[in-house]
Amino acid sequence: MMENKPLRKAILLAAYGASNFRGKECLRNFENQCRIKFPGVPVRWAFTSLPIIERLARERQKSDSIAKALMKLAYEKFDIVAVQPLQTIPGKEYEDVLAHVAYARDNSGLCCEVGQPLLNNAEDAEIAALALLADLPGDRKGDEDVIFMGHGARHPAAHLYEKLDAAIKLRDSRVHIGAMEGKNGLNEILPRLSSRRVWLIPLLSLMGKHAMEDMAGSSPFSWKSRLEENGHECAPVLHGMAENEAIAEIWLNHLRKAATCLTGNKE
Ligand code: CO
């Protein structure tokens, strides 16, 4: 008679990648929150950025692509893997994750499910809006403008940034969701600002190049420099969304949903 072996489960978290200290700290903080929610389940990381994977390899640091991480898990005889990407919208990067996971699944026999990104619908936008508003800097005065700088995209899913902006504005009209690409760039936001001091917060999962250079860097093209050039005093907040506990919780709830799909409710 065949014995019923318990299925071996693992979690794979996927991020753009981190090669600097602050970025890695963001990953660690998120991973800790994940381990608390899923005690005893092995947690691995995969990066989606090839340049970062290559840089880490040159520095002899370990990093895996999604396909490689899944193949390793299959080799280690895991059966099911819930994958959670730390992305904001279901855009191009998310579609790539789905494709890599599908490839690895077909080639390994692993059973995989991918959790949804942060924003998928109006309901997510509501929850995320509350999470962002709950985590505004304590020093921010009620009449001061706050800009969350997202990545943005030229992709149909980018409308979810506007949903988030609308959900936030219902509660605090001085908080703006901006994006580096597509709609709601800084040029669109500048005329809506009315306070001298403006807070600048990354709507990005990790502290990486976009947050440190494009948002808070000293080049004349950074959002900080452009705000200053327009007469504002800029107060950048340097943390990744993966470190915002309420936001991390949304990703982890999406992971929970994916894991439940795989195991059929019995955890
Ligand atoms: Co980018």
Q: Residue 135 has which token pair?
A: 């985590």
CA of 41 to the centre of ligand 1 (A): 31
Whether 18 shows a pLDDT value over 90: the answer reads no
| Residues designated catalytic | 151
CA of 75 to the centre of ligand 1 (A): 32
CA of 134 to the centre of ligand 1 (A): 26
CA of 45 to the centre of ligand 1 (A): 19
pLDDT band at 1 (very low <50, low <70, confident <90, very high): low
Over the stretch 206-222, which tens digit does the pLDDT of each residue have? 988 999 999 999 999 99
pLDDT at res. 267? 47
Q: Where are the beta strands (DSSP E) in 107-196?
A: 111-114, 145-152, 175-181
Whether 63 shows a pLDDT value over 60: the answer reads yes
Q: Residue 70 has which token pair?
A: 């899944």
Neighbours of 136 (CB within 10 A): 18
CA of 151 to the centre of ligand 1 (A): 6
